[in-house]
Chains A and B, each alone.
Chain A
Amino acid sequence: MPDEPAIHARGVTRIYKAKPDPVTALAGVDLDVEPGEYFGLLGPNGAGKTTLIKILTTLLLPTSGTAKVAGFDVVHETSKIRRVINMVAGGEQSGYGLLTLREQLWMFSQFYGLEQREGWRRVDELIEITGLTEQRDQKVRTLSTGQRQKLNFARGLLNDPWVLFLDEPTLGLDVAAARDLREHTLEWKAAAPGRTVLLTTHYMVEAEQLCDRIAIVDRGRILALGTPDELRRRVQAESIFRIELDQLPHDGDLDAIAALPGVLSAVRADEDGDGAASDRVAIKVALADDSALTTVVTGVAQQGAHLIGLAKSEPSLEDVFVELVGRGFGDDDAPGNAKGAAE
């Protein structure tokens, strides 16, 4: 069944017993992730992302609803799911500090049933790919946070999973380590068709950079789902371009530009306080879609102005989140941290 979704969830709810009242971590999640997708669950802390991952990795039962991973039911077919998945969480301290990095990976390879020689071969291969060759004989307890997380990532790939769950994998990493890790996930996924990644993150840039599709989650519900472009279009239907010219066409008359086919509006950008260099002028044009841009560029040239610069102005995923939820991520997470780790 090659077309079966890698992940399929319908009406998944999860309620935790708590005092004084039960806590609803998931409130009816519907989700389909196709094989080969890099799918992101984006939301603030407490949104329900990790709970969903725990259900999909067979660590938790849903209170109601159904979920399947690689076509196997998370309630009744746990053994089969465990053979084709793996999971890496941010800040993970798993394993045993007295083992060397190489021994630690080998130990985990045995839990996945890799034959001895194949286990060592796979371990050495992953050590090299993740750039841990220098630390291979170093005890795990002496590794830095970044090296430790690379080790965790390598552990997650020991069994060559079909579905890899990454739960906030760059949490607490510095910029370079986070970038390395993100690149590794992309390269690993691209190396074979059908490999699927489900990433949870509250770093917007990370989700935007990695994911084919993103579900924005808050308070146990999926608020929006689509490609990053689709999500952005939810808050900004038109395409907005900032165009820098050596002079205004027809002595500042922008009506002719605004009247072009596909153009919704055209205004001076530098008069809005959006300044340009003194030897150039900037205009902002709103287009029905990107294809009208050619018409605009041709139009300004015909009116005697020369194009110097062009930039598309797009809303960020944070704008999308604020639009959907009415508050920003910053309520839960320091924006500096998020940006730092995600860049």
Chain B
Amino acid sequence: MTAWRGVAARNPREAAEWSRGRVIRTNLRAVFGRAYPRIIGLTREPSWVFFEIVLPFLAVSAFVFVYRALQAPEEFVGFVVIGGAMTAFWLNVVWMMAAQFYWEKDQGNLELYFTAPMHLMSVLAGMAIGGLVMTSSRALAVIVIGSVVYGVSYQVSDPLLLVAVFVLTMIPLYGLGMLFASLFLLWGREAFHLAQLLQEPIYFLGGVNFPIGPAFGQLAAIVMATLPLAVGLDAMRQLVFAGSETNGVLPVGAEMVILGVMGVVFIVGARIALGYLETLARREGRLTLRWQ
């Protein structure tokens, strides 16, 4: 039988003195710790195969049939398949990033996160990385199934650049989710409605099912300035369908710069919003506490 053991530090003052290295290591471990449930969830919840692969595939199929009926250029089918895959990331950002702190509060986890010796940004980063890993598998499944079923052929001019654009798209996308996590918590019960509000309009404005350049004309520039999903999709479509006659809104290089700036803005914004949230939570006695 194992017995209780004594503590290693001689006194609490000594125990509370952490080196900078230990602080960094703790936060990195917290990132991995919070990512773990999402990654392991891949093997624990088989129902995702239906909800996150079959259903998006049906949505993609509807647009494919419409484009074929209208005899649209064949690359539009590929646009829809890529868009369908990216939809999985947006859903993940809205429901499992933006709304997550609100659910965590209800479960009582937020109290425990606040009282643990890590920065809450580490929790958000863990959620983002876990969500990204989890969703990538689903997105990949949508691409593979969609491509095989509808015979999409890709002309990737620069695979490394494509990977770079994908990564650059994910940073502001999940950065936006991190920012929304604090804001949704502040807005309380409206979180559910906000999440719904961010779904269909963003599909439309983000050009998930169609290229926004020809569709929006000059207005596309405004969309490009605000939605990382729209910028990333436009850049990826340009790289994946290199021979396409459908032009992107901006050159890929310019879109990468926009994505980079968005990434910085959203992550810094998330950091500021989180600081504000913590101050408000402690001052007003709500937000973090289950019963408030």
Chain A residues within CB distance 8 Å of chain B:
1-2, 4, 6, 14, 16-17, 35, 51, 54, 57-61, 70-72, 79-87, 89, 92-96, 98-99, 103, 106-114, 116, 125, 128-129, 139, 155, 159-160, 162-163, 187-188, 190-192, 194-195
Most buried by A among B3, B13, B17, B45: B13
CB within 8 Å for A108 and B33 given contacts A17-B284, A89-B108: yes
Chain B residues 1 to 30 lying within 8 A of chain A, measured CB to CB, are 1-8, 11-13, 15-18, 22, 25-26, 29-30
Contacts of B41 in A (CB 8 A): 98
Give the contacting residue for A188; candidates B4, B18, B114; CB below 8 A. B4
Q: How far is the CA of A143 from the CA of B22 in the complex (A)?
A: 34
| A162 pairs with B117, CB closer than 8 A | no
Contacts of B1 in A (CB 8 A): 128
Is residue B288 contacting chain A, with contact meaning CB distance below 8 A?
yes
Contacts of B34 in A (CB 8 A): 107, 110-111
Q: List 19 A-B contacts (CB under 8 A).
A: A17-B284, A35-B12, A60-B285, A83-B117, A93-B108, A95-B107, A99-B36, A103-B36, A103-B37, A103-B40, A110-B32, A110-B33, A111-B116, A112-B118, A113-B22, A125-B2, A190-B4, A191-B3, A192-B4
Chain B residues 267 to 292 lying within 8 A of chain A, measured CB to CB, are 281-285, 288-289
Give the contacting residue for A112; candidates B2, B8, B117; CB below 8 A. B117
Q: How far is the CA of A95 from the CA of B4 in the complex (A)?
A: 24
| A84 pairs with B16, CB closer than 8 A | yes
Most buried by A among B5, B7, B45, B109: B7
Contacts of B288 in A (CB 8 A): 59
Is residue B112 contacting chain A, with contact meaning CB distance below 8 A?
yes
CB within 8 Å for A99 and B40 given contacts A58-B114, A111-B116: yes
Give the contacting residue for B33; candidates A80, A111, A188; CB below 8 A. A111
| B2: nearest chain-A partner, CB-CB | A128
Chain B residues 206 to 226 lying within 8 A of chain A, measured CB to CB, are none
Contacts of A98 in B (CB 8 A): 37, 40-41, 44-45
Contacts of B16 in A (CB 8 A): 70, 72, 80-81, 83-84
Is residue B115 contacting chain A, with contact meaning CB distance below 8 A?
yes
Q: How far is the CA of A59 from the CA of B288 in the complex (A)?
A: 8
Shortest CB–CB separation between residue A78 and chain B, in angstroms?
9
| A86: nearest chain-B partner, CB-CB | B115
Q: How far is the CA of A51 from the CA of B292 in the complex (A)?
A: 12
| A61 pairs with B40, CB closer than 8 A | no
Is residue B111 contacting chain A, with contact meaning CB distance below 8 A?
yes
Contacts of A82 in B (CB 8 A): 115-117
| A94 pairs with B108, CB closer than 8 A | yes
Is residue B113 contacting chain A, with contact meaning CB distance below 8 A?
yes
Contacts of B37 in A (CB 8 A): 96, 98-99, 103, 107
Contacts of A192 in B (CB 8 A): 4-7
Q: How far is the CA of A118 from the CA of B108 in the complex (A)?
A: 26
Shortest CB–CB separation between residue B121 and chain A, in angstroms?
13
Chain B residues within CB distance 8 Å of chain A:
1-8, 11-13, 15-18, 22, 25-26, 29-30, 32-34, 36-37, 40-41, 44-45, 107-109, 111-118, 281-285, 288-289
Give the contacting residue for B26; candidates A107, A112, A163; CB below 8 A. A112
Shortest CB–CB separation between residue B205 and chain A, in angstroms?
33
Shortest CB–CB separation between residue B282 and chain A, in angstroms?
5
Q: How far is the CA of A208 from the CA of B289 in the complex (A)?
A: 29
| B282 pairs with A1, CB closer than 8 A | no
| A2 pairs with B285, CB closer than 8 A | no
Contacts of A111 in B (CB 8 A): 26, 29-30, 33-34, 112-113, 116-118
CB within 8 Å for A113 and B118 given contacts A1-B13, A60-B282: yes
| A162 pairs with B115, CB closer than 8 A | no
| A113 pairs with B29, CB closer than 8 A | yes
| B6 pairs with A191, CB closer than 8 A | yes
Q: How far is the CA of A14 from the CA of B286 in the complex (A)?
A: 13
Shortest CB–CB separation between residue A21 and chain B, in angstroms?
16
Contacts of A85 in B (CB 8 A): 115
Q: How far is the CA of A94 from the CA of B107 in the complex (A)?
A: 5
Contacts of B26 in A (CB 8 A): 111-113
Q: How far is the CA of A202 from the CA of B118 in the complex (A)?
A: 32
Shortest CB–CB separation between residue A130 and chain B, in angstroms?
10
Q: How far is the CA of A14 from the CA of B292 in the complex (A)?
A: 15
CB within 8 Å for A191 and B4 given contacts A1-B13, A92-B108: yes
| A113 pairs with B111, CB closer than 8 A | no
Q: How far is the CA of A4 from the CA of B44 in the complex (A)?
A: 48
Contacts of A163 in B (CB 8 A): 12
Shortest CB–CB separation between residue B74 and chain A, in angstroms?
42
Q: How far is the CA of A51 from the CA of B5 in the complex (A)?
A: 31
Q: How far is the CA of A256 from the CA of B117 in the complex (A)?
A: 68
| B5 pairs with A191, CB closer than 8 A | yes
